[in-house]
Amino acid sequence: MIIPTYDDVLDASERIKGHVNKTPVLTSRTLNDRLEAEVYFKGENYQRVGAFKFRGAMNAVSKLSDKERKKGVIAFSSGNHAQAIALSAKLFNVPATIIMPEDAPALKVAATAGYGAHIIKYNRYTEDREHIGRQLAAKHGYVLIPPYDHPDVIAGQGTSAKELFEEVGELDALFVPLGGGGLLSGSALAARSLSPGCKVFGVEPEAGNDGQQSFKSGSIVHIDTPSTIADGAQTQHLGEYTYAVIRENVDDILTVSDEELVECMHFLAERMKLVVEPTACLGFAGALLKKRELVGKKVGIILSGGNVDMKRYATLILGTENCLKN
Ligand SMILES: *Cc1c(COP(=O)(O)O)cnc(C)c1O
């Protein structure tokens, strides 16, 4: 097993340049005043397919050989990785099969089908998507591109934090949403090279704190599929690669409640006119937990994506307050 390094992030960045959007860095004076800190949001909700996952998917698909491209790719995903693989495959004329949960958000299923991918559904509470994926890959010769535990995927995801550091300079702290750890491990590699003093925090939904348990216990902890509105972080465990990078390069893993996520979503919409999905609020909610320690500091927060069904969004926001209410 060869653990990815920052050089792989650099290679990925060259390879996917021109295909991925350089996403904007966004700030709020209100937030900076209230936190007495300088906060920089990296807006991956403005990435193609609406989430950072296009970076890793594009890097992985562009590295395939001609022979592999002919056979096609397969991926399992609750949503954004599915869309990312479907679009990356389409851009290279590669056939794509995507395994999605029956209860995946309708918008994400429709978008994936819209990119021309073949969709296979499974029950996320009773069936094992990794097993289904491996079986189909073996049967048809597809290349399986996992959503996080793959060196090319990790390297691609790291290009978002790389852009952030290049644009705003070194940071005191970086807060990153955590599911299976592709985004966090790539971001940590970028931080270690571009801003060595930066503390890197992964933030999980409290219902699914397997990453925190793994980080503390020193081995990968598996949990049942957690119940949380953060559908992009309903992962059951970190990966071998992501855990190896996280263990060495991340400072701590925090957890937040679904309510805190919605309050952040509310603030981002009301004050910054940003539509982000619940999972994308993990980093922001984690930063608010640490607000006392962030006074006077320069802070980066990755907003990982913006794919949320508008009816669900409205329902979630209804009756909540924004996260700066006090
Ligand atoms: C996939 C995803 C995450 C979690 O990323 P990992 O690499 O699995 O940790 C966070 N936010 C959004 C929007 C996602 O799609």
Query: What is the three-state SS of the chain?
Result: CCCCCHHHHHHHHHHHCCCCCCCCEECCHHHHHHHCCEEEEEEHHHCHHHECHHHHHHHHHHCCCHHHHHHCEEEECCCHHHHHHHHHHHHCCCCEEEEEECCCCHHHHHHHHHCCCEEEEECCCCCCHHHHHHHHHHHHCCEECCCCCCHHHHHHHHHHHHHHHHHHCCCCEEEEECCCCHHHHHHHHHHHHHCCCCEEEEEEEHHHCHHHHHHHHCCCCCCCCCCCCCHHHCCCCCCHHHHHHHHHHCCEEEEECHHHHHHHHHHHHHHHCCCCCHHHHHHHHHHHHCHHHHCCCEEEEEECECCCCHHHHHHHHCCCCCCCCC
Residue 245 Cβ < 6 Å to ligand 1: no
Most informative mutation of 9, 225, 304 for ligand 1 (most atoms within 8 A of CB): 304
Residue 230 sits in the same domain as residue 86: no
| Residue 53 a catalytic site member | yes
70 given a catalytic annotation: no
Lowest mean per-residue pLDDT among 16-20, 119-123, 199-203, 258-262: 119-123
Determine if ligand 1 sits within 6 Å of the CB of residue 80. Answer: yes
Confidence of residue 101 (pLDDT cuts 50, 70, 90): confident
CATH number at residue 255: 3.40.50.1100
Ligand 1, pocket-test mutation among 100, 279, 308, most atoms within 8 A of CB: 279
| Same domain membership, residue 292 and residue 309 | yes
Does the Cβ of 177 fall within 6 Å of ligand 1?
yes
Ligand 1 atom closest to residue 176's alpha carbon, by position in its atom list: 10
**155, 281: one domain:** yes
pLDDT reported for residue 291: 97
Provide the residue range defining the domain that includes 236: 6-51+150-318
The per-residue pLDDT for range 104-160, each reduced to its tens digit, is: 878 778 888 999 999 999 998 888 888 898 899 999 999 999 999 999 999 999 999
Of the three residues 144, 168, 188, the one that is the final residue of a domain is: 144
Same domain? For 272 and 133 the reply is: no
Quote the ligand 1 centre to 301 CA distance (angstroms): 14
**78: pLDDT strictly greater than 80:** no
Nearest C-alpha to atom 3 of ligand 1 is from which residue?
232
Q: Which of 56, 72, 77, 78 is catalytic?
A: 78
- The yes-or-no verdict on residue 175 having pLDDT over 60 is yes
| The ligand 1 atom nearest the CA atom of 307 | 13
> What is the pLDDT, as a whole number, of residue 326?
53
In the chain, % of residues over pLDDT 90? 89
Question: Which of 74-83, 223-232, 304-313 is the least confident region?
Answer: 74-83
pTM: 0.96
Decide if 324 is inside a domain: no
Q: Average pLDDT of 257-268?
A: 98
Please tell me the predicted confidence (pLDDT) of residue 146.
92
Q: Tell me, what's the pLDDT at 33?
A: 97
Answer whether residue 264 is part of any domain.
yes
Q: Among 128, 144, 160, where does a domain finish?
A: 144
The atom number, within ligand 1, closest to the CA of 51 reads 13
User: Is 210 among the residues known to form the active site?
Assistant: yes
Is the CB of 117 within 6 Å of ligand 1?
Answer: no
Cα(190) to centroid of ligand 1, in Å?
Answer: 17
